[in-house]
Chain A
Amino acid sequence: MIDGLDRYVREHRFFAGLKDDDIDLIAGCARNVVFKAGTYLFHTGDPADEFFLVRHGRVALEIAAPGRRPITFLTGGEGEVIGVSWLLPPYRWNFDARALELVRAIGLDAKCLRTKCDSDHDFGYEMMLRFVPLLVQRLQATRMQILDVYGKPA
């Protein structure tokens, strides 16, 4: 483990309150990463082999369609997680993630973490307790976006 990564993981809002042993397991799959403004953290269709805990900066999740400019449907910043497709097969990204400004993040090796979740179900359950609320929150936000609440009443 690189010295200090466990501290970054422990201090990150997403993992607040995790046991030291679990922090060590996560930090063992972690590395520091930096993305310059305008560069991509990942692209649609690529293997979802690393996701990110943002420490600084903002990331736009984009969807591109032929003949249209990319649409940003979510931004994430400090204290937030970028990337959830690593959780489930086929482990491929569904969207593009682009750094809107200089982004410092902790990159987490998805395969490493999945292996630890498989071999230590208590740890895996702790991870699910973190990720399921995030997925539910994003689902609810997506519903609100689909409702187009600010549009003209029919």
Chain B
Amino acid sequence: MNASADPMVPEVRRVTRVRRELADVWTLAIDPGPGGFAFTPGQFNMLYAFGVGEVAISISGDPTEPETLIHTVRDVGKVSGALARLKPGDSIGVRGPFGRGWPVADAAGSDVVVVAGGLGLAPLRPSLYRLLAERHHYGRIVLLLGARSPDGILFRRELERWRTRLDLEVEVTVDHAGSDWRGNVGVVTSLIPRAAYDPAHTVAFVCGPEIMMRYAAIELAKTGVAADAIYLSMERNMKCAIGHCGHCQFGGDFVCRDGPVATYARLGRLLAVREI
């Protein structure tokens, strides 16, 4: 994998497993071919549904298991819908990995707060695998997850497993719920002031809908986390994925090349600009 000399040429791979996560969300396991697939947590691939089109999808698998390439896809459009309908044995085009990911190694020695909203947990999951694989390098690790409702909680079984760990704080909240839900209800930002971390020595990874990220960053900053220690994962209209076409321009950056992960110090002012 990643062997193609031309980053614009997809490699044809096979889907090996498909798992329905939520009503409109599927996880695809792809055979990466000989040599496996090395990537940095937070990077993305361009996935090609042949005959339909290509779309940028974050890698959601474990970077310590390069023999399987994992993507989690929400059926929101023509291409993502076609990807979501793939079956084991079907072929898929893969270009990547692309972009700058979460600075997991640089966060060593700090507390790490991971704030995920909805499907935003998928691009963050590789960082959690890496953090937990090297748990002794970090202080407190906190995962705060927000979802629309209890049936919109992604990777639920894995969350329940993580919750049993004594070295990881996991808090989940939903925007609304029926009276049978015994967990938290409220927006994900409400979990931030309640979480236990040392803001002066904390690195935060935030991923979710842009509005949620904006308010999560504001709330993290309010607790004392430095703007250049808050990382957000941006999403724009990625096409070429190598910074040539300009479709994903965000201010002076191309999200595909200079992101998708960047600091709130860099992105904060631009997040409020409508024209970008």
Q: How many residues of A contact B (CB 8 A)?
A: 28
Shortest Cβ distance from residue B121 to the other chain A in the assembled complex, whole angstroms: 11
CB distance A141 to B186 under 8 Å?
yes
For residue A147, CB closer than 8 A to chain B, the reply is yes
Q: Mark A57-87, 1 if CB is under 8 A from B, else 0.
A: 0101110000001111111010100000000
Closest Cβ–Cβ distance, residue A62 to chain B (whole Å): 6
Contacts of A69 in B (CB 8 A): 178-179
Chain A residues lying within 8 Å of B194, measured Cβ to Cβ, are 77, 79
Q: Which residues of A contact B (CB under 8 A)?
A: 58, 60-62, 69-75, 77, 79, 98, 100-101, 137, 140-141, 144-145, 147-153
Q: What band does the interface of chain B fall in when counting residues whose beta carbon is under 8 Å from A?
A: 20 to 34
B187 in contact with A145 (CB, 8 Å): yes
B16 contacts A by Cβ under 8 Å = no
* Chain A residues within an 8 Å CB radius of B119: 150
Chain B positions 165 through 184: 1 when the CB is less than 8 Å from some CB of chain A, otherwise 0: 00000000101111101111
Let me know if A144 and B187 touch, CB within 8 A.
Answer: yes
Asked if B208 is an interface residue, CB under 8 A from chain A, the answer is yes
- Interface presence of B155 (CB below 8 A): no
Q: Are B152 and A141 in contact (CB under 8 A)?
A: no
Enumerate chain B interface residues (CB-CB to A < 8 A): 24, 76, 117-119, 146-148, 152, 173, 175-179, 181-187, 189-190, 194, 208-209, 211-212, 215
Knowing A141-B190, A144-B212, A152-B24, the reply to whether A73 touches B182 (Cβ < 8 A) is: no
Residues of A close to B176: CB separation below 8 A: 71-73, 145
What's the Cα separation between A105 and B98 when bound, in Å?
52
Q: Known pairs A58-B184, A61-B185, A73-B176; list 20 more (Cβ under 8 Å).
A: A60-B185, A71-B177, A79-B194, A98-B179, A101-B182, A141-B186, A141-B189, A144-B187, A144-B189, A144-B212, A144-B215, A149-B118, A149-B208, A149-B212, A150-B119, A150-B152, A150-B212, A151-B148, A152-B24, A153-B76
> Could you write out 30 A-B pairs with CB less than 8 Å apart?
A62-B179, A69-B179, A70-B179, A71-B179, A72-B176, A72-B177, A72-B179, A72-B181, A73-B176, A75-B185, A75-B186, A100-B182, A101-B182, A137-B190, A140-B215, A141-B186, A141-B189, A144-B187, A145-B176, A145-B187, A149-B118, A149-B209, A149-B212, A150-B119, A150-B147, A150-B209, A150-B212, A152-B24, A152-B76, A153-B76
Bound complex: CA of A144 vs CA of B118, how far in Å? 13
CB distance from B249 to the nearest CB of A (A): 20
Q: Which residues on A sit within 8 Å (CB–CB) of B182?
A: 100-101
- CB neighbours (8 Å) of B212 from chain A are 144, 149-150
| CB-based contact A72/B209 at 8 Å | no
- A80→B189 CA distance, assembly (Å): 15
> Is B178 a contact partner of A70 (Cβ separation < 8 A)?
yes
**Contact present for B179 and A150 (CB under 8 Å):** no
The residue on A at minimum CB distance from B147 is: A150
CB A151 to nearest CB in B, in angstroms, measures: 7
CB distance from A4 to the nearest CB of B (A): 25
Distance in angstroms between the alpha carbons of A137 and B186 in the assembled complex? 11
A60 to chain B, nearest CB (A): 7
How many angstroms from the CA of A79 to the CA of B195 in the assembled complex?
A: 12
Among A98, A141, A144, which residue has the most Cβ atoms of chain B within 10 A?
Answer: A144
Please determine whether B178 and A72 come into contact, CB atoms closer than 8 angstroms: yes
B175 touches A150 (CB 8 A): yes
CB neighbours of B215 from chain A (8 A): 140, 144
Residue numbers in A under 8 Å from B148 (CB-CB)? 148, 150-151
CA distance A24 to B181 in the complex (A): 38
